[in-house]
Amino acid sequence: MSLANGFLPMTMEEVLELGIEQLDFIYVTGDAYVDHPSFGHAIITRLLCEYGYHVGIISQPDWKDDSSITVLGKPRLGFLVSSGNMDSMVNHYYVSKKHRETDAYTPGGAAYKRPDHATVVYSNLIRKIYKDIPIIIGGIEASLRRMAHYDYWSDSFKRSILLDSQADIISYGMGEKSIIEIADALNSGISVRDLSFIAGTVYKTKDISGLYDYELLPSYDDMTADKRLYAKSFKTQHDNTDPFNGKTLIEPYPNGVYVVQNVPQRPLSMQEMDDVYALPYQRTYHPSYEAQGGVPAIAEIKFSLISNRGCFGGCNFCALTFHQGRTIQVRSHESIVEEAKRITQDKDFKGYIHDVGGPTANFRQPSCQKQLQVGVCKHRQCLCPKPCPNLEVDHSDYLSLLRRLRNLPNVKKVFVRSGIRFDYLMLDKDDTFFRELVEHHISGQLKVAPEHICDAVLSRMGKPENAVYEAFTEKYRRLNQKTGKNQFLVPYLMSSHPGSTLKEAVALAEYLRDIGYMPEQVQDFYPTPSTMSTVMYYTGVDPATMKPVYVCKNPHEKAMQRALIQYRNPRNYDLVREALKLAGREDLIGFDRKCLIKPRKLAGGTTQSQGSKSRKSTRTPNVNGKVQQKPKKKKTIRNTHKPKKQ
């Protein structure tokens, strides 16, 4: 089901053009309509069409206008609602809570085209107009807010999004299997209120008497009163994100209401993944956006290939465990090569495939074979704090795929720009992949994510100890030398993560001094829903151990930690100087090569001493009230000649 231009209908005129009297589903999204498999709304709508359902799309409706939600009429089976590819709050705000002025998922990059908490706002708008229509919410925003959660932007503890949105059911995670089961059930006449049996969904009920083998979480009221209970609840949720060994979770609310999370949907098989990515996507934005300059987000993914999903990396600040799960799912080489061939036929293709990867590019197999029978381990991670003895490390499949792609006609280069898990790479005893990565698949610089260099902070992040990264950088240097390359490493670094004090922030600055690198951008820790790190930030304890964790919440201290990473930037001078004084590291203010900053120069050629409290005075008085004169430097004659070799 598609129009002559290949897209799904966005207007009633287009619906009638297809000879359809009433759509089965209407998908409401906070993004522009981009028919590309990197966009969740494209996958779900195409999949429903493949199963015979008629689907239309309402993109970025005006939430202040009730009629904006009625442009396609009332659907026969229900509304599907998503904020878009990003959480609407992350999309709107920097970690400082200042509003972003652009939106890559909107035509022309315009901001303010969707509301805050878009899933809730859209769903309530639908419920206002259509009192009895089923509303199914999904996507990253609904998925990560499916149970009670901390909301950073309002600094409050919120209920499940299912209750605030007035929706009937959540399809969480990637959702391909659950959405088809929901559609088929509704189509067979089953009431949405009776859809309590579908994996990968969350529903609300007042009767749990028929449920068994479940975990009863603390109530919303109890967690609101005691943050530690929320930390314990989140750990239970984290331990039940696997479809093979996870349990049903029940969260009680006032007035006898329960929010029930069924176990996650099973991971897609290779054939199922291939089928999803073989659907007839147009691979670009809707033509109606052309006059506005198109949709900026397409530039990053138009010539990229998705090879896998899921991640067993276990970073605590990442929500992948909650959304895609830890089990790796992959497409076949044939599927990816076929898509690559289609890419090479695009009129704008210049010979460069920008990326072949996913959440972690070099994960193309489960971390161990037992995962597909009994699931991932509940009480340990695959890579941290130490690699599991059962971990299977093998890059041969990924290497074979990259070789096939770079040998395709019209392909000049195949780059790997998704995250490379360097600790996993270092565990591979065969250097072939690492060598070919350096030789063929890096565009001058490789971006990696050590995040920090202090082991105390890295352990809170769920990252490997710094010695692993040091070994990686040295090996990367050697391989570049052997292959005659002069390529760089660009490390992603994070400031003010739970566990990071000014002491650790200064240590990170010293490390950057020693390697001669100052990042152009710094990521301040962003407390987004459903991550272990966000729970640490809110509760002050590590959910894994229930032990206290230092949390930097003061905006000024956060600014100091961020400034230390960019200590060379003159605009950061005052913040860096203050941070060094507070950390007791005034030894790093001076002219020695180990110092981070120099003493402030004052008018008249004097220098403000380290112990001076005044920032405005241009002269520094001594204890007698007299102005200290800057001593004259003695002239020295430098020997500019190198000594002769003996």
Write out pLDDT tens, residues 452-498: 999 999 999 999 999 999 999 999 999 999 999 999 999 999 999 99
Report, as an integer, the average pLDDT of 617-635: 34
pLDDT band at residue 602 under the 50/70/90 scheme: low
Rg (CA), the chain: 28
Which helix H or strand E contains 259, and what residues bound it? Answer: strand 257-261
User: pLDDT value at position 616?
Assistant: 35
**To the nearest whole percent, how much of the chain has pLDDT over 70?**
93
User: pLDDT value at position 375?
Assistant: 87
Bridge partners, residue 352, by sequence: 413
Contact 564, 576 (CB under 8 A): yes
Report, as an integer, the average pLDDT of 372-395: 90
pLDDT band at residue 369 under the 50/70/90 scheme: confident
- Structural domains in the chain, CATH included, are 12-199 (3.40.50.2300), 489-611 (no CATH)
User: pLDDT value at position 606?
Assistant: 53
SS3 of residue 530 by DSSP: coil
H-assigned helices in 171-319: 176-187, 220-225, 227-238, 270-277, 298-301
CA-closest candidate to residue 157, choices 224, 225, 68: 224
User: pLDDT value at position 4?
Assistant: 83
Least confident segment among 311-315, 424-428, 561-565: 311-315
Between helices 573-582 and 555-565, what is the axis angle to 10°? 110
User: pLDDT value at position 623?
Assistant: 30
pLDDT surpasses 80 at 629: no
pLDDT surpasses 70 at 609: no
126 contact partners, CB below 8 Å, separation of at least 6: 28, 69, 79, 81, 133, 135
Report, as an integer, the average pLDDT of 63-77: 97
Q: How far is the C-alpha of 143 from the C-alpha of 569, rounded, in Å? A: 39
Bridge partners, residue 355, by sequence: 304
SS3 of residue 290 by DSSP: helix
Between helices 573-582 and 502-515, what is the axis angle to 10°? 120
Average pLDDT of the chain to the nearest whole number: 91
CA-closest candidate to residue 25, choices 61, 7, 51, 4: 51
pLDDT band at residue 608 under the 50/70/90 scheme: low
User: pLDDT value at position 605?
Assistant: 52
Contact 262, 177 (CB under 8 A): no
Write out pLDDT tens, residues 507-522: 999 999 999 988 888 8
Contact 157, 219 (CB under 8 A): no
Q: How far is the C-alpha of 610 from the C-alpha of 591, rounded, in Å? A: 12
Least confident segment among 192-196, 422-426, 443-447: 443-447
What is the CB-side half-sphere exposure of residue 180 using CA atoms within 13 A? 13
**To the nearest whole percent, how much of the chain has pLDDT over 90?**
87
pLDDT surpasses 50 at 585: yes
pLDDT surpasses 90 at 612: no
Report, as an integer, the average pLDDT of 542-551: 96
Length of the chain in terms of residues written: 646
pLDDT band at residue 300 under the 50/70/90 scheme: confident
84 contact partners, CB below 8 Å, separation of at least 6: 29, 30, 31, 40, 41, 91, 105, 114, 118, 139, 141
Report, as an integer, the average pLDDT of 135-144: 97
554-561 long-range contacts, Cβ below 8 Å, gap at least 24?
555/96, 557/496, 557/502, 558/495, 558/496, 558/524, 560/502, 560/505, 561/495, 561/496, 561/500, 561/502, 561/505, 561/524
